[in-house]
Structure 1
Amino acid sequence: MFGRRGVAVALGSVMLAGSSLVWAPIGRATADEEGSVGCVGHSESRYDPPLKLLAGPTHVHADITYTCGAHGRTVPATGSFNSEAPAASCVAVSGGSGTETIRYADGGRSLIAYDSATTLRVTGVLVVIQRGRVVEGRGQGHPVRRTITGLPQELPTECLTSGLQGGSNEVQLEIEP
């Protein structure tokens, strides 16, 4: 009825909508007063070099647009994620380290260092759960969970030729209390 893309979109939407219900919307609070900050958004990622069947080192870059909420209000934000994957392929990505800089429309900023990731592929749906900590700015010292869901934009046969160039995914980010 929905097709694979419809199922992935529905799954991602349910995850994002359900988890966003527990977040309070963003304000100006000190680090001690900050509770959970939740962001939902969309990312466009690129792999350099493109992912192929054989694993190799790859640089991953993603630009993300977020809507974040905490402390009674919401604010738009943008994110820039970078990672060096030592052994990435069309089938799997090793490691989970990387950094993300989030710039909030109200002038705030968070620098996040990710140190672990779990990657799952279920019937073509990609799910990546990353964990890390805010190392600078808003939420400094707080743990972070980032969940990425989506379908590949390119055909799997691209793995045999030019490789997968990138992806378009839904992202959920939570800076935990």
Structure 2
Amino acid sequence: MKTRPIRIDVLASLLLLSAIGLPSAAWAETVTLTCLGTETAHYNPGMTFTPQPIAFSVNGLLAPCAGIPLGVTSASYGTSGVANLSCEILSGVAPTPPLTVHWSDGSTSVIQPTTVVTQRPVGEVVRIESGHVASGRFLGAATVRTVTLLQTQLDACTTSGVESVGGPVVLEVVKLL
């Protein structure tokens, strides 16, 4: 019984993986992007000083993006979920759903936050998330998203509840090869 050389089996396997569309080395690239933008968050029901399950949705628009690769000039993202939230100051306790980022060149990245620090003074949100790109473009890159979301109804935490907040966001994505 004859056996084929291992090289041919490896080559055939690589061709098969490429044909079925598994990620290729094209995603292995240097990235040093800093994107500025705005983010809004909506809560239903509105946040009060009483912790309770609240549905939230978050949307962000990032422009401009500066750095490498040069073809990525803007992005957008969104996420949603349900979490036990309130207007109280909370640190280190926050939902951490993945963010799907849609880059201006048509590619996407899924960012998974791993360390989150959140403060909620009177319904405003100051949040710093560090994490990594878990799939898609820039796979394995380190990420930091810093968000400051302000609310304009200062008495909302004691009355109808904070239903939305918005403000500046900075997203940094870094991977050096």
The answer to whether the aligner puts 1:92 opposite 2:83 as a matched pair is no
Per-residue deviation, 1:99: 1.8
2:9 match: none
Distance 1:58 1:123, change over 3 A: closer
The answer to whether the aligner puts 1:172 opposite 2:154 as a matched pair is no
Instruction: Give the letter aligned to residue 54 of structure 1.
Output: T
1:9 match: none
Q: Which runs of 5+ in 1 are unaligned?
A: 1-28
The answer to whether the aligner puts 1:37 opposite 2:33 as a matched pair is yes
Distance 1:109 1:74, change over 3 A: closer
Distance 1:106 1:35, change over 3 A: closer
> SS state of the match for residue 156, structure 2?
helix
Per-residue deviation, 1:54: 0.8
Which stretch of the first structure deviates more once superposed, 49-58 or 114-123?
Answer: 114-123
Q: Distance in 1 between matches of 2:80 and 2:130?
A: 14
Q: Distance in 2 between matches of 1:96 and 1:59?
A: 11
Q: CA RMSD in A?
A: 2.5
Distance 1:59 1:143, change over 3 A: farther
Distance 1:100 1:57, change over 3 A: same
Q: Which has the larger radius of gyration?
A: 2
Instruction: Give the letter aligned to residue 151 of structure 2.
Output: P
Question: Percent identity at matched positions?
Answer: 27
Q: What do the CA deviations read for 1:136-174 (whole angstroms, capped 9, x no partner)?
A: 11111222110002422322x211221100101100011
Q: What do the CA deviations read for 1:20-76 (whole angstroms, capped 9, x no partner)?
A: xxxxxxxxx943322222211101110122111111222321111112232335512
1:162 match: 160
Q: Distance in 2 between matches of 1:123 and 1:158?
A: 8
Q: Which runs of 5+ in 2 are unaligned?
A: 1-24
Distance 1:118 1:169, change over 3 A: same
